[in-house]
Structure 1
Amino acid sequence: MTIPDPYARILATAARHAEIVPEAAEVIRLGENAVMRVRAGAVARIARPGQHAAAAREVALSRWLAEQGVAAVRVLDVDQPTMVGEYAVTWWEELPPHGPGRVADVAHLIRALHALTPPRDLPLGRLDPFVRLDQRIDQATTLTAGDRDWLRGYLADLRDAWNELPDGLGECVVHGDAWVGNIARTTDGATWLMDLERSSIGRPEWDLVSTAIKHTSFGWVSAAEYRHFIGIYGHDVTTGAGFETLRDIRELRMCLYFAQHAPNKPSMCTEADFRLACVRGQYGPRPWPWTPGH
């Protein structure tokens, strides 16, 4: 896929500053971030405007994980991130051909991540499960004003509930968005963590709840797969105090992902409306038949 503007202009400027020569550059994925193959073995990632700090943290974390022997995406050995106006561009080693990971892969990789002693010299920041949710509500213009007002009130309630959570597992380095879509798996079974931008210091339960609700809330993960996940990681987050709060926050994030993008992707409107109805208690008890996806 040809790289559209403004990404083509941003990439050309960033590559010049980083002294990287593009060769037949092409789009890999356009989503929350724009990911492009610059040349064989090299990938560029253009973050949303104003994300310099997050991009710098992701680069530093990738280098630290390499030192710790954790399988995660690796940065190229160039000075980065490269800034082009408000856009932060980071440069990565291209992974071999791969697909999404498996449920068991998530358990293996986050167990290895959580076992690390948090680095003192790396400013990872605190886990914020509510990052950008206010913006997503504002951008969900296919929803009614009443729906958006309800979402703002629900978000405020969840923030209060988060602040009142009882102590759980000891805090550690967390991925922040641990699910099979953020794991790369090659045909030979090798796996890597990807998309490190939400990594921080916080509750490890946050990395467990995404897989848990894919079983309990949506039925995308079978009972056998979930038991295997628990066996590998060694903890079942659904049995801990505060699970309902963690579940509700993650479900809201998944709901608002569709609602945010629905104005520009009409195909997402019906699913966004349905997800909101479920979250509002208008559909019935879980599991809900949401369309599999983020």
Structure 2
Amino acid sequence: MISGSSGGPDDGGTEFTAEGLEPVLQEACETAGLDSRGAELLRLGSNAVYRLTSLPVIVRIARDRSVLADMDRAVGVARWLGTQDFPAMRVPASVTQPLVVGGLVVTFWESVQDREEYATVAELADLLRRLHWLEEPESLRLPYFDPLAKLAASLEGLDGISAEDRTFLDERAARLAKDYDRLDFVLPFGMIHGDASIGNILRHRAGHAVLIDLDGFALAAREWDLIQTAMFYDRYGWHTEAEYAEFVHQYGFDVMNWPGYETLADLRELMMVAWLGHQVTTSDSAAAEFARRVRSLRTGDGRDEWGPF
């Protein structure tokens, strides 16, 4: 890992805007021996994502300095998956990373496509099945995934919502924690992607599907990697019945038939709502969606009105 000199790695003073990130992008690329001129900003959210024009490389700048260890591990995961010939994002072999520039964490990834195109849920199931068959080397130092700890940390930082909503979410989390501790998982424990959904599988320019966003890799019950696709079909209608049936067929297990499905879905859903709660002070659309989702959790109705975010 290398710290850049732009403002010092710990100052946290870089403004997370297109203008504020320009010198961070430039210095990071210069350090990596890449040309940032003409880079295209693809998205600006929890991360700023750029596509370079000089080479097929994606630059990802993380807003939160605390993800440094996660991104270091993600780079290691990408390199190891390459040795396994597993279809996932690759990192440029010549670049030492992650970098810390202006207090922000920067990573470089090989671009898999020229225009954004997602793969299918069937292909997601196939890649998850293949991934779950792999045995990770100890050198990856994958952490154990604790969804309760992750949820608690997310709720702890929710300062922009009402006290009433905060109390409601805290009480719901406490009830779910008791239910989660009683779950009896049936799939083997092992390596998971950690955020397996249709949003994290892209169509490679060569035609095949690849997994992206590798920083959530961890050791956990494999049911966790199946829950989002099931929820997106069952609760929100974001996938069709035929798509979900193909997902189940390709993976070989229907998590919705497992007795712990509702508990795990409720927990993952609450994490989604808490994540959105962090955006309410900076985005009117996020604030409206957060209010819609909390109202839905309170009443038990209206999940089919949720919008992807």
Question: How many residue pairs end up in the alignment?
Answer: 289
Out of 49, 71, 78, which is 1:35 matched to?
49
Give the CA RMSD over aligned residues: 2.1
Tell me if structure 1 keeps the 8 A contact 2:187–2:222: yes
Out of 244, 268, 279, which is 1:226 matched to?
244
User: Does 1:290 find its partner at 2:305?
Assistant: yes
Q: Deviations over 1:211-231 (max 9, x none)?
A: 011121112222222111111
Length-normalised TM-score, structure 1? 0.90
Q: 1:23 to 1:111 in 2, by over 3 A?
A: same
Q: Deviations over 1:172-216 (max 9, x none)?
A: 211111111111025764111011111111111001010011121
Q: 1:49 to 1:22 in 2, by over 3 A?
A: same
Match of 1:176 in 2: 194
Match of 2:84 in 1: 68
Whole-angstrom CA distance in 1 between matches of 2:105 and 2:278: 22
Counterpart of 2:304 in structure 1: which amino acid? P
Match of 1:91 in 2: 108
TM superposition outliers: structure 1 runs of 4+ over 3 Å: 130-143, 186-189
Match of 1:198 in 2: 216
Tell me if structure 2 keeps the 8 A contact 1:142–1:269: no
Out of 27, 33, 46, which is 1:19 matched to?
33
* Residue 147 (structure 1) shift: 0.9
Deviates more, 1:211-220 or 1:180-189: 180-189
Match of 2:98 in 1: 81
Match of 1:157 in 2: 175
Match of 2:133 in 1: 115
Deviates more, 1:90-99 or 1:251-260: 251-260
Tell me if structure 2 keeps the 8 A contact 1:140–1:263: no
Tell me if structure 1 keeps the 8 A contact 2:49–2:60: yes
Counterpart of 1:65 in structure 2: which amino acid? L
Structure 1 unaligned spans of 5+: none
User: Does 1:52 find its partner at 2:71?
Assistant: no
Q: 1:219 to 1:34 in 2, by over 3 A?
A: same
Tell me if structure 2 keeps the 8 A contact 1:140–1:261: no
Q: 1:37 to 1:235 in 2, by over 3 A?
A: same
Q: Percent identity?
A: 34
Whole-angstrom CA distance in 2 between matches of 1:144 and 1:200: 33
Q: Deviations over 1:117-160 (max 9, x none)?
A: 12222111112334654454455555321110121222233233
Length-normalised TM-score, structure 2? 0.86
Whole-angstrom CA distance in 1 between matches of 2:25 and 2:205: 31
Q: Deviations over 1:55-85 (max 9, x none)?
A: 1000000011111111001001211111225
Determine helix, strand or coil for the equivalent of 1:112.
helix
* Residue 14 (structure 1) shift: 1.8
Whole-angstrom CA distance in 2 between matches of 1:8 and 1:130: 37
